[in-house]
């Protein structure tokens, strides 16, 4: 069963240039470290500097491992990203969903 993951946060205006240039590293990390091939990022059309990442993982255990790593302070990549976010790591919102069988 595939799990869809959404990660939402707001970037500080003064960090937007760095953030946009940093996104290629975030994409590469998802692909290389987690095998995520469908990573996408969206920017809010009505809320400036609001971003949502979207991708799938294979199961809930993989999501739980990813979620734990994403919010740790040990990872330099995530620390650099958290420094760009209004409110830092505490304002990174991560959700996981599975599809419902409605047939």
pLDDT digits (tens, 9 = 90+) for 49-75: 999 999 999 999 999 999 999 998 888
Mean pLDDT, all residues of the chain: 94
Domain contains 8: yes
Domain contains 81: yes
Q: How far apart are CA 68 and CA 11, in angstroms?
A: 21
Domain contains 102: no
Average pLDDT for residues 80-89, to the nearest whole number?
95
For residue 35, give the CATH number of its domain: 3.30.70.100
Q: Which residue range(s) make up the domain with 57?
A: 3-97
Whether the pLDDT of residue 95 is over 90: the answer is: yes
Q: How many domains does the chain have?
A: 1
Whether the pLDDT of residue 91 is over 80: the answer is: yes
Neighbours of 11 (CB within 10 A): 19
Question: What's the whole-model pTM score?
Answer: 0.91
Domain contains 103: no
Token couple for 80:
């650099």
Whether the pLDDT of residue 7 is over 90: the answer is: yes
């Amino acid at each position: 069963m595939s799990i869809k993951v959404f990660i939402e946060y707001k970037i500080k205006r003064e960090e937007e240039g760095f953030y946009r240039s940093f996104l290629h590293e975030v994409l590469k990390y998802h692909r290389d470290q987690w095998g995520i091939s469908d990573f996408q990022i969206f920017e809010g059309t009505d809320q400036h500097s609001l971003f949502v990442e979207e991708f799938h993982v294979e199961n809930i255990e993989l999501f739980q491992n990813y979620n734990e790593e994403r919010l740790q302070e040990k990872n330099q990549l995530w620390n650099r990203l958290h420094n760009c976010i209004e409110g830092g790591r505490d304002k990174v919102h991560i959700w996981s969903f599975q599809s419902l069988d409605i047939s």
